[in-house]
Amino acid sequence: QVQLVESGGGLVQPGGSLRLSCAASGSIRSIYFMGWYRQAPGKQREAVAGITTGGSKNYVDSVKGRFTISRDNANNTVYLQMNSLKPEDTAVYYCNLGTLSGTFWGQGTQVTVSS
């Protein structure tokens, strides 16, 4: 089994920053992708950022220039640095792991941007 443990969510004022972390453990075979998705109330889950084992990154247009994804391959950990946060970034953020054994999801961490 694979476990994903997320941390770093919380309440922040507009313009503030948060850093999300997601650590993977368990029977992990050949990770090829790690990423972050988010789901706001009443909306569908959307992909926010992703990074491959080779380091290629992609972002949804709404976060480009504000969010940065990175990973620590040795520790199977992925990070999402979120700067210049806006109220529309409020959502539950989910970590996603793509491996040869399948795709796995974290339990989600709440990010609330509000004054």
Q: How far apart are CA 14 and CA 66, in angstroms?
A: 13
What is the CA 49 to chain-centroid distance, rounded?
7
What tens digit of pLDDT does each residue of 56-114 get? Answer: 999 999 999 999 999 998 899 999 999 999 999 999 999 999 998 889 999 999 999 99
What tens digit of pLDDT does each residue of 11-69 get? Answer: 999 999 999 999 998 888 788 899 999 999 999 999 999 999 889 999 999 999 999 99
CA distances from 94 to 13, 17, 115 (A): 21, 17, 23
Structure token pair of residue 76:
């199977």
